Amino acid sequence: MPAEHGPCLGVFDGTHDAGAAVVVGGRLVAAVSEERLVRDKGAAGWPAASVAAVLASAGVRPAELAAVAFAGRVNPNPALRLARGAQARWRFDEPRLWDPDGWRSRLAEATQLQSPFPRLRSDSLAARAWTLPLRWALGRRLAAELPGLRAPVAVHDHHRCHAAAAWFTFGVERGLVIVADGVGDGQALTVWRGQGGALVPLRAWPFPDSHGLVYATLTAILGFRPFRHEGKVAGLAAHGDPDAVPVPWPFVGPPDARRLACGLGPGLRAALAPLRACRREDVCAWLQRGLEADLCGLLDAVLRETGESDVALCGGVFANVRLNQRLAERPGMRRLWVFPHMGDGGLAAGAALLSAGAAPVALPSAALGPDLDPAELGAALASAPEARASADPAALAARLRRGQLIALCRGRSEFGPRALGQRSILACPADPAVVDRLNAALQRSAFMPFAPAVRAEDIDEAVDLAPSARAAARFMTVTAEARPALRAAAPAVVHADGSARVQVVHADEAPLLHAILSAYRALGGGPALLNTSFNLHEEPIVQTAGDALRSWRAAGLDGLVLGEALLVQGEGGAR
């Protein structure tokens, strides 16, 4: 039963992107991924640090919780949930699982992809049989860590949790939700109707007909790491020619009933084998085109069938911001929403919202993570030997205009993969050479694009943003075509295909970033600043003052706004 009158804790304890969230009064008030706290990219397993952090951020004691909700009955694997040591050694993002090179990895692939297990749904007899003991085991583990906890424990369907995260943060009373990921409780893609506090399933595409797992397979074949480097594949797509790839698209059937003609595993690899002779940029462009065609075709079909015009998206497939742009531009679309933490890291939020009996309320901010600890912040600043300078927005804008790289670590961290001004690095995008400088400093791939932050007042000057995507663009989850003003003033944030993954900045949501943009504009700097996440390559985005200092010094950036102070490297002046 929904816990409509008390705080709810949501937990995701899977083989990647574990985390926790708290809902109070039907609103998502705290959420964080375990990786941010333990400093292990994609951290898996029991999210003890996240649970403690979200309860502290929300000001909720364990005894005050009305419900605890876990995401996924089949995925995460219940056996691994009960054998945490094995779970710690099982990595679903291991490339050899998707592109096997020996008998061990072929056995692992067969176990994971060819066995009956990934086809099991949450309502199957097997899942029903193990749900009760699973709830007991999960609740017992949680109670041992949270003295005073008396709340009942629920375990919700994987795809329903994704759908809930998107629907209950959309803020409309009626619409559709599309969930697309690798696989979750037997499903690869689901369509739902949201109406008030209800989510009604309309369609489902079962495993193995998964665009997410095809994307993972190709990510491995191209030499990247599945479930981590799909963004690199999407970034390379802008540099390729899909017509140069002579391989048929592996999905067949009508737009609203696509299926894999060759299955996953050996059949799919055999069908994709000719791609190894193609340029990887062309393969990425071919993959992007096929993905866009299939998902746009599906969206068109369900819009016609249902007559709806408001659509929310969730699941790892919708981390693809270019795909989201194409969906936002479809005829008949009125509003498109993408949950900011669209991958499995967002499942904890969906689980909590389900158990809370929430109603749809627009998400006002992604700043849902822990704030800087005042004692640690004070100690870090007191021990820092670097010089201090003014952190006034006008002074920061002047430094950016001179070409300095300024990192920000202040307030509560963002929930999800995008930095939106709380844990960001800012730069002047007028000189394309800043891309090489940042990539070298942060040890990142040269072909990955950087994003522009633009004031809401300037957005129509900077990009051709679909009207349906205005809300989603606040969270940097959709691209738009760059207009001439942005191309001229900020070439460093325009991708090779002319698109830009824009962040629309409102003064009431991100006051410091908005003030810096205003001051930068007043100095003749144009409508945008480069905004990228504050982390070194293959590390999580920074969380604490200590994380920020270590990454800032390692990258050799010019300035660091830490709390309300500005530290600068290579300058004299009083501390």
Q: How does pLDDT run across 288-333, given as a tens digit for each residue? A: 999 999 999 999 999 999 999 999 999 999 999 999 999 999 999 9
Instruction: List residues bridging with 482 in a β-sheet.
Output: 463
pLDDT band for position 106 (50/70/90)?
confident
pLDDT band for position 183 (50/70/90)?
very high
Residue 83: what pLDDT?
Answer: 86
Beta-carbon count within 10 A of 307 CB: 8
Reply yes or no on whether the pLDDT at 575 is more than 60.
Answer: no
Do the Cβ atoms of 557 and 425 come closer than 8 Å? yes
Q: 276-289: per-residue pLDDT in tens?
A: 999 999 999 999 99
Instruction: List residues bridging with 27 in a β-sheet.
Output: 24
Reply yes or no on whether the pLDDT at 200 is more than 60.
Answer: yes
Q: 528-551: per-residue pLDDT in tens?
A: 999 999 999 999 999 999 999 999
Instruction: List residues bridging with 480 in a β-sheet.
Output: 500
Instruction: List residues bridging with 560 in a β-sheet.
Output: 407, 567
Do the Cβ atoms of 222 and 286 come closer than 8 Å? no
C-alpha span between 95 and 77 (Å, rounded): 19
Give the residue from 166, 301, 326, 299 showing the smallest Cα distance to 234: 326
Q: Which of 93-97, 125-129, 298-302 has the lowest mean pLDDT?
A: 93-97
Q: 29-43: per-residue pLDDT in tens?
A: 999 999 999 999 999
Instruction: List residues bridging with 189 in a β-sheet.
Output: 180, 205
- Three-state DSSP at 111 gives helix
Reply yes or no on whether the pLDDT at 362 is more than 90.
Answer: yes
Give the residue from 125, 90, 126 showing the smallest Cα distance to 111: 90
C-alpha span between 433 and 438 (Å, rounded): 9
The percent of residues above 90 in pLDDT, for the chain, comes to 86
C-alpha span between 24 and 6 (Å, rounded): 7
For residue 136, CA distances in Å to 70, 76, 112, 152, 392 come to 12, 16, 26, 10, 53
The mean pLDDT value of the chain amounts to 94
C-alpha span between 53 and 34 (Å, rounded): 10
C-alpha span between 348 and 12 (Å, rounded): 5
The CATH fold assigned to 204-338 is Nucleotidyltransferase; domain 5 (3.30.420)
pLDDT band for position 82 (50/70/90)?
confident
Residue 4: what pLDDT?
Answer: 62
pLDDT band for position 370 (50/70/90)?
very high
pLDDT band for position 2 (50/70/90)?
low
C-alpha span between 37 and 292 (Å, rounded): 35
Q: What are the residue ranges spanned by the domains of the chain?
A: 8-171+343-356, 204-338, 374-568
Do the Cβ atoms of 339 and 317 come closer than 8 Å? no
Most confident of 216-225, 250-259, 497-506: 497-506
Give the residue from 166, 197, 209, 203 showing the smallest Cα distance to 306: 203
Residue 559: what pLDDT?
Answer: 98
Q: What angle do CA 166, 169, 172 make, to 5 degrees?
A: 100
The percent of residues above 70 in pLDDT, for the chain, comes to 97
Residue 42: what pLDDT?
Answer: 93
pLDDT band for position 573 (50/70/90)?
very low
86 vs 259, residue with greater confidence: 259
The CATH number of 374-568 is which of 3.90.870.20, 3.40.50.720, 3.40.50.2000, 3.40.1390.20? 3.90.870.20
Residue 111: what pLDDT?
Answer: 72
Structure tokens at 45: 């397993």
pLDDT band for position 5 (50/70/90)?
low
Beta-carbon count within 10 A of 34 CB: 29
Give the residue from 208, 159, 236, 146 showing the smallest Cα distance to 447: 236
Residue labelled with tokens 């990192």: 407
Whether a cis peptide bond, with omega within 30° of 0, leads into 467 is no
Q: 229-253: per-residue pLDDT in tens?
A: 999 999 999 999 999 999 999 999 9
What would you measure as the largest C-alpha separation in the chain, in angstroms? 70
Tell me whether domains 204-338 and 374-568 share a fold: no
Q: Quick one: average pLDDT of 454-473?
A: 98
The CATH fold assigned to 8-171+343-356 is Nucleotidyltransferase; domain 5 (3.30.420)
Q: Is 437 exposed, middle or buried (0-12, 13-18, 19+ CB in 10 A)?
A: middle
Reply yes or no on whether the pLDDT at 348 is more than 90.
Answer: yes
